[in-house]
């Protein structure tokens, strides 16, 4: 019973913290406004789909409603409108926030496990499947 009370108290203490998750600040000017040039907006949209929301983590900044994602969308649009390339903007964001900000991190010593783990898991799955099929067939 005391564990239940502790859980209820912990949940009640979290409620005020949730009210501080979003500020009352207005969104950045280009967070929800498309660029006038359709080609520039298409370039910005393509880049925004490749960038991860650092708050939501499972969504791109194009899909996220988090305040930080809106700020990042505005930044991408401002820089595209100023004539910067998508690659330059991506590199700047990676330098600022790390490789995690992109859904396609470059191969390095830090990101090597992300690239190698799926291959190792696939090999492991094939080995386990072969062994179980051999046992099932009586060999």
- Quick: pLDDT tens for 7-35: 777 666 666 555 555 566 777 777 888 88
How far apart CA 56 and CA 68 sit, in angstroms, is 10
The pTM of the full predicted model, rounded to 2 decimals, is 0.64
pLDDT of residue 109: 82
Q: Which residue has the higher pLDDT, 68 or 110?
A: 68
Question: Which band of pLDDT confidence, cut at 50, 70 and 90, is reported for residue 79?
Answer: very high
Backbone torsion region of residue 32, taken as left when φ is above 0, otherwise alpha when ψ lies between -120 and 50, otherwise beta: alpha
Where in the chain are the domains? 27-105, 107-139
pLDDT of residue 2: 79
pLDDT of residue 44: 95
For domain 27-105, the CATH architecture is: Orthogonal Bundle (1.10)
């Amino acid at each position: 019973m005391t564990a239940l009370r502790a859980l209820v108290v912990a949940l009640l203490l979290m409620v005020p913290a949730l009210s501080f998750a979003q500020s009352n600040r207005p969104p950045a000017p280009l967070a929800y406004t498309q660029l006038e040039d359709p080609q520039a907006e298409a370039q910005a949209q393509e880049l925004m789909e490749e960038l991860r929301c650092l708050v939501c983590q499972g969504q791109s900044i194009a899909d996220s409603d988090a305040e930080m994602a809106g700020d990042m969308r505005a930044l991408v649009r401002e820089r595209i409108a100023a004539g910067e390339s998508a690659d330059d903007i991506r590199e700047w964001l990676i330098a600022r926030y790390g490789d995690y900000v992109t859904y396609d991190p470059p191969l390095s010593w830090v990101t090597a496990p992300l690239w190698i783990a799926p291959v190792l898991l696939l090999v492991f799955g094939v080995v386990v499947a072969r062994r179980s099929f051999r046992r099932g067939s009586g060999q």
